[in-house]
């Protein structure tokens, strides 16, 4: 890493010399390119120089602790502080060196679908939705349900919702895959532990320019919204189903009472699904390179197990187990998300 940082700083110094040359302004294209390159490296170089300064101060403090017994205690306190600051600066340097996912800053659509396990899987789908919602709300992000198919036991066969906030995709992108739960179901009278599964898909919101939709490729159906058990929720035709005829991908939205709002939301989800399908097709061609990465996003991959008898949650991609499942399911999932992000950064840094 430090060899790369040395090259970065040399490049930054070279750009500064170019900017100091008055003749550069005569070539506006090159001037803009130089200014942009300088700006992109400035934060990274600032942290490189901060790390160098802290390292020098740490060396001075360590030397003082060894040479002056009267100042040793004070120097030790300073050494502790400097080591903490150095670690934070190193973490920031790793973050800045990691190639940024172009989707990281976007909002996301999450689809949670009950898999094997019947009613118990549907109940766990509802538990995951609640877990994600509480975490998102704790971050100050907005959660909007777009469509859901609920069961009589307050579970979800399927629920689709949007999370709107800063760097949401960066946080949630590692949640895609199969989530397995081991517990005694509410529906099981004999008290036996069952294993059920839920599938989570995470899609970044895309701009219209990223996915061009031909109106002739779309079939739009309008119908009345309905709730659990088929109960009428809305007597007006406000629910929307949009089918992309070339691919057969279908999206529906009935959360809003306005037909126009439901159509707009459904179009956004359809664009996100089409973009994801395109990226998954591209990823298959690179499967050998991606199979060990944390963020492969394969929906068939079992990524995590929630074991209620042991109060344990285990992420199989990074081999980490936490024994606070009760707290975790209440939305306190930040620690594991950070570990996943760090593992992904390490993977990308090793390949850079």
Q: pLDDT tens digits, residue range 56-85?
A: 999 999 988 888 887 888 888 899 999 999
pLDDT at 290 over 70: no
Whether 49 and 167 share a structural domain? no
Considering the chain, what is the average pLDDT of its residues?
84
Strand bridging mode 177-183 / 194-204: antiparallel
Whether 270 and 204 share a structural domain? yes
pLDDT band at 216 (very low <50, low <70, confident <90, very high): confident
The CA-based angle 10-15-18, given to 5 degrees, is 130
Does residue 253 sit within a domain? yes
Whether 312 and 213 share a structural domain? yes
Which residues fall within 8 angstroms of residue 304, CB to CB, at 6 or more apart? 177, 179, 180, 313, 314, 315, 316
pLDDT, residue 238, reads 78
Question: Residue 106: which of 250, 241, 242, 268 has the closest Cα?
Answer: 268
Whether 214 and 113 share a structural domain? yes
Q: Which of the two residues, 260 and 230, has the higher pLDDT score?
A: 260
Q: Which domain holds residue 298?
A: 108-283+294-351
Q: Which of the two residues, 325 and 275, has the higher pLDDT score?
A: 325
User: For residue 142, what is the domain's CATH number?
Assistant: 3.30.70.1660
Does residue 22 sit within a domain? yes
Number of domains in the chain: 2
Whether 130 and 73 share a structural domain? no
- 97, 130, 156 — which closes off a domain? 97
pLDDT band at 266 (very low <50, low <70, confident <90, very high): confident
pLDDT at 293 over 70: no
Whether 113 and 253 share a structural domain? yes
SS3 label, residue 159: strand
> CA-CA distance, 94 to 1, in Å (whole number)?
8
Whether 61 and 149 share a structural domain? no
Which residues fall within 8 angstroms of residue 113, CB to CB, at 6 or more apart? 125, 157, 158, 198, 199, 200, 201
Does residue 288 sit within a domain? no
> CA-CA distance, 39 to 30, in Å (whole number)?
14
Residue 8 Cα to chain centre, angstroms? 28
pLDDT band at 94 (very low <50, low <70, confident <90, very high): confident
- Reported as a single tens digit per residue, the pLDDT across 23-33 is 898 888 899 88
Whether 169 and 82 share a structural domain? no
Secondary structure percentages of the chain, helix, strand, coil, to 5? 50, 20, 30
Whether 261 and 129 share a structural domain? yes
**What separation in angstroms does the CA of 348 have from each of 46, 96, 289, 290, 338?**
22, 12, 12, 11, 15
Average pLDDT over residues 217-242: 68
Whether 226 and 276 share a structural domain? yes
Does residue 90 sit within a domain? yes
**What separation in angstroms does the CA of 245 have from each of 80, 220, 279?**
63, 10, 19
SS3 label, residue 312: strand
pLDDT at 299 over 80: no
Answer left, alpha or beta for residue 14, where phi above 0 means left and psi between -120 and 50 means alpha.
alpha
pLDDT, residue 123, reads 94
- 69, 97, 125 — which closes off a domain? 97
Whether 43 and 174 share a structural domain? no
Does residue 102 sit within a domain? no
Does residue 103 sit within a domain? no
Q: Which of the two residues, 318 and 152, has the higher pLDDT score?
A: 318
> CA-CA distance, 145 to 110, in Å (whole number)?
10
- 97, 128, 153 — which closes off a domain? 97
Does residue 301 sit within a domain? yes
Does residue 45 sit within a domain? yes
Say how many residues make up the chain.
Answer: 352
Whether 140 and 213 share a structural domain? yes
């Amino acid at each position: 890493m430090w060899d790369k940082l040395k090259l970065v700083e040399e490049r930054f110094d070279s750009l500064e010399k170019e900017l100091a040359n008055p003749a550069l302004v005569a070539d506006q294209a090159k001037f803009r390119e130089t200014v942009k390159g300088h700006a992109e490296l400035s934060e990274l170089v600032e942290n490189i120089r901060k790390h160098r300064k802290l390292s020098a101060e740490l060396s001075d403090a360590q030397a003082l602790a060894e040479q002056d017994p009267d100042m040793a205690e004070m120097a030790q306190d300073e050494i502790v502080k400097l080591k903490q600051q150095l670690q934070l600066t190193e973490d920031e340097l790793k973050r800045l060196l990691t190639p940024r996912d172009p989707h990281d800053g976007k909002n996301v659509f999450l689809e949670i679908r009950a898999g094997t396990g019947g009613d118990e899987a549907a109940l766990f789908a509802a538990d995951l939705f609640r877990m994600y919602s509480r975490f998102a709300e704790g971050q100050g992000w907005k959660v909007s349900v777009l469509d859901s198919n609920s069961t009589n036991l307050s579970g979800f066969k399927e629920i689709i919702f949007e999370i709107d906030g800063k760097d949401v995709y960066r946080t949630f992108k590692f949640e895609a895959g199969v989530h397995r739960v081991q517990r005694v179901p509410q529906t099981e009278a004999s008290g036996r532990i069952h294993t059920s599964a839920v599938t989570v898909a995470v899609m970044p919101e895309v701009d219209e320019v990223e996915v061009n939709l031909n109106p002739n490729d779309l079939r739009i159906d309008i119908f009345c919204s309905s709730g659990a058990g088929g109960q009428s929720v809305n007597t007006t035709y406000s629910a929307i189903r949009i089918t992309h005829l070339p691919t057969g991908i279908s999206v529906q939205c009935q959360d809003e009472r306005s037909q126009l709002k439901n159509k707009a939301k459904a179009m956004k989800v359809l664009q996100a699904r089409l973009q994801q399908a395109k990226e998954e097709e591209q990823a298959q061609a690179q499967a050998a390179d991606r199979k060990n990465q944390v963020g492969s996003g394969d929906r068939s991959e079992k990524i995590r197990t929630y074991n209620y008898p042991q109060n344990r949650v285990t992420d199989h991609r990074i081999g980490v187990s936490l024994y606070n499942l009760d707290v975790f399911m209440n939305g306190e999932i930040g620690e594991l998300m950070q570990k996943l992000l760090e593992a992904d950064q390490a993977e990308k840094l090793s390949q850079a």
